[in-house]
Amino acid sequence: AMMRVTIQILPFFYGPYWLHIAMGDTGLVSTERVIFACFFSSLISLLMIVMVNLADQTENPFKHGNRDTIDVKGEMNLARQAIKNANEDKERPWYEAEVFDWESEEASAESESRE
């Protein structure tokens, strides 16, 4: 709430600075400088509004429909599936024998015939 008030009040505090930009060192107001000061002031206000909105959207990760929402149901289903898979594999040995090409009987026979 405080940031929203700051966004509304901040342009009034920066008013003298924007006026200085519009007038320049010579003290003469030019159209280009006024356009630049208005554009820069609008850009800063817009960026602050965007930052506040983004902070509001990422503040609660469990709120449905936000950018940073955590899918609790999906995560729980994945956890249940992982536990189910682990339960099915608990009777199997923790290792599996891997027979490489050079360890098979056929490979041994071929190497002996070459010699």
Q: Is position 8 within any domain?
A: yes
pLDDT in tens, 39-87: 988 898 899 889 888 887 777 777 777 666 777 888 899 999 999 988 8
Q: Is position 10 within any domain?
A: yes
Q: Is position 6 within any domain?
A: yes
The pTM of this model reads 0.49
CB within 8 A of 78, min separation 6: which ones? none
Q: Is position 95 within any domain?
A: no
Number of domains in the chain: 1
pLDDT in tens, 102-111: 777 765 566 5
The boundaries of the domain holding residue 52 are: 2-69
CB within 8 A of 107, min separation 6: which ones? 101
Q: Is position 60 within any domain?
A: yes
Q: Is position 58 within any domain?
A: yes
Q: Is position 80 within any domain?
A: no
